[in-house]
Copies of this chain bind each other. A is one copy, B any other.
Amino acid sequence: MSTLAEENYLKCIYHLSLNSENVSTNQISASINTRAASVTDMLKKLADKELINYTRYQGVSLTPAGEKIAVHIIRKHRLWEYFLVEKLDFKWDEVHEMAEEMEHISSMELVDRLDKFMGYPKYDPHGDPIPDSNGQFKKHDLQPVSTIGVNDTGVISGVRDHSPGFLQYLEKQQLTIGKKITVTEINTYDHSMVLEIEDSEIHISREVANNLLITL
């Protein structure tokens, strides 16, 4: 099948593809912390295996075969994250690096049993949807808090930044998945916002508002 490095590239290309049709060498290079020259080498290998569409200098996209692998890796990543938080009591900011390793465990049967063991969870600890064993999942309709106005409400359902620093900040402010928020004030100068959550007031910067996602 695929090697660990190939799997990481496919997953990376998948994630970058959500924002732009074609993914550039430099985008991949930045995202997986590898030199552009090394990325080019790998892109050739993945193209030879027909996992990506690649034309020199033009960037890449996943083939259906490549996307299938990518989604399966993401399924494993998110299931293991769920396991770590729900069964082993890790915090949501602690699990990413571990899942980065665990997503490469190869047994299909193991993934499906793990899924069953946990009751077929739909979302991971960060609110990201978990693909089912056929690779199906619904991309729920999220938007940054920064896009709504005063007196509007929403439910916290995801994050755009998965860094431990941001997640720890949110946790400390009680800004966790499932919480209902109402915008009570928007500062027109710096676009900072005041939110009401469970009867308490929380001030967040524009940057936080951009990276915190809600459903209406």
A-to-B contact residues, CB < 8 Å: 84, 87-90, 97-98, 101-102, 104-107, 109-110, 113-114, 117
With contact pairs A98-B110, A110-B98 given, residues A117 and B105 touching in the complex (Cβ less than 8 Å): no
Contact of A102 among B89, B105, B117 (CB under 8 A): B105
Chain B residues positioned under 8 Å from A104 (CB to CB): 101
Whether the pair B106, A88 counts as a contact (CB closer than 8 A) is: no
Please tell me how many copies of the chain the complex holds.
2
CA distance A67 to B117 in the complex (A): 35
Cβ of A1 to closest chain B Cβ, rounded Å: 13
Q: A98–B98 Cα gap in the complex (Å)? A: 17
Dominant secondary structure at the A interface:
helix
B113, A106: Cβ atoms closer than 8 Å: no
Shortest 4 CB-CB distances between A and B: which pairs? Answer: A88-B113, A98-B107, A101-B105, A88-B117
Inter-subunit contact A84/B101 (CB<8 Å)? no
Which among B88, B97, B101, B107 is the interface contact of A114 at CB below 8 angstroms?
B88
Smallest Cβ distance from A148 to chain B, in angstroms?
38
**A98, B105: Cβ atoms under 8 Å?**
yes
Which of these, B97, B101, B107, B117, contacts A87 with CB under 8 Å?
A: B117
Q: Is the CB of A106 within 8 A of B101?
A: yes
Identify the closest chain B residue to A112 (Cβ): B88
| Closest partner residue, chain B, to A102 (CB atom) | B105
Distance in Å: Cβ of A157 to nearest Cβ of chain B: 27
Which B residues touch A87, using CB under 8 A? 117
Sample (7) of A-B pairs whose CB atoms are under 8 Å apart: A90-B109, A97-B107, A98-B105, A101-B104, A101-B105, A101-B106, A102-B105
Chain B proximity of A183: nearest CB distance (Å)? 38
Interface centre among A106, A110, A117 (most CB of B within 10 A): A110
Residues of B within 8 A of A88 (CB): 110, 113-114, 117
Measured in the bound complex, the distance between the Cα atoms of B117 and A182 in whole Å is: 38
CA distance A113 to B86 in the complex (A): 12
